[in-house]
Chain A
Amino acid sequence: MDAHAHAGEHEIEIPYAIYPRPDTGLYNGKLGIWLFLASEVMLFGALFSSYILLRTGSVDWPRGYTFLNIPLATANTFILIASSVTVVLAWANLRLGNLKLGRIFITITIACALLFLMNKGIEYHHEFVEGRSPSTNNFMALYFTLTGLHGLHVIGGVIVFAYFAGPGAKMWHEDRNRYTNRIEIAGLYWHFVDLVWIFLFPTLYLL
């Protein structure tokens, strides 16, 4: 009997979506997200490496605080930290069996992410109005590349959380543990996005 014929007879379940594999001690999704985050560290690491290379090799490095909007970036830092907390609160409430509160906290996370993107949009608009673009100098090229890539990650997070707060929440009624695990690994991704911003903020705005 081949695999397709077997699949027709029984519904194939993804292995170890809920319970951990005995050999790794982890459910597969969790190991998967950590391997993905490891690759993300390399992606952002390469850009931070470029920043160090260009800054240490420059005789006159522009200082972000002289023209970037520090109050708005500080507000964005608070917003991302708050969104990290709402994700863990969503996960905790799902583990307590409270889908309603879990979805409310996921929705607050999405609202925080959208607020962050709106503030970033205001900043970008201001830079372009002032005639600063990625081609202005190495600092601005790095500023737009790093914050742009980070912004894309925020958009990615919004899409994932919007799915789980909306149509994806059906999974809760079929298998609540699996849904809870999905929120945990989406949360791990989101905390990484927060972590990157924690280092981007002082690097680009204050130093």
Chain B
Amino acid sequence: MSDHAIIEVPPHSSADEAEHAGVHDPNLHHSPEEIKREVRVYLIVFVALAALTAVTVGSFYALKSYPVSVAIGVALAIALVKGSLVAGYFMHLLSEKKLIYAVLILTVFFFAVLIWGPWLHHNSPFN
């Protein structure tokens, strides 16, 4: 076996070299202005998350006299919005590579099986 088959040499010498090789790393190529714009977006998302936390607690007290299914629906809907903001902006899933989306689609499928499994079991006519 040749040495090349044992040790892989990474393209690490410069950003230009990586660019030349047809790869593009957004972390290394964003201008300071773009990064500062991102920071403003992060702060807006932070305010939105804090506000939605307050809405979660507020709606809990407001919906106390309603059926529990209403409270569950509202609280989980707000949590879903908050989770989407964290995943989309802080984990930058809004602009990620296809491979990560592929991994996450598989993850979401198996997660859905885990969540709906016991629910379907509970509502099964054979239960």
Contacts and interface: CB of A to CB of B under 8 A. Distances in A.
A binds B: yes
Contacts of B79: 198-199, 201-202
A180 B26 CA distance: 12
Number of chain B interface residues as a range: 35 or more
B97 A25 contact: yes
A122 B7 CA distance: 52
Contacts of A38: 103-104, 106-107
Interface string A73-112: 0100110011011011100100110000000000000000
A198 B90 CA distance: 14
Contacts of B15: 19
B72 to A, nearest CB: 5
B22 A88 contact: no
Contacts of A206: 56-57, 60, 71, 75
Number of chain A interface residues as a range: 35 or more
B38 A207 contact: no
B14 to A, nearest CB: 9
A98 to B, nearest CB: 10
B91 interface: yes
B94 to A, nearest CB: 13
24 contacts: A13-B12, A15-B10, A19-B28, A25-B99, A26-B99, A27-B25, A35-B103, A38-B104, A42-B111, A45-B110, A74-B53, A74-B57, A77-B53, A84-B86, A88-B90, A92-B42, A95-B27, A180-B27, A181-B27, A188-B91, A198-B82, A202-B75, A206-B57, A207-B71
Interface of B: 3, 6-12, 15, 18, 21-25, 27-28, 30, 32, 35-36, 38-39, 42-43, 45-46, 49-50, 53, 56-57, 60, 68, 71-72, 75-76, 78-79, 82-83, 86-87, 90-91, 97-100, 103-104, 106-107, 110-111, 114-115, 117-119, 121-122
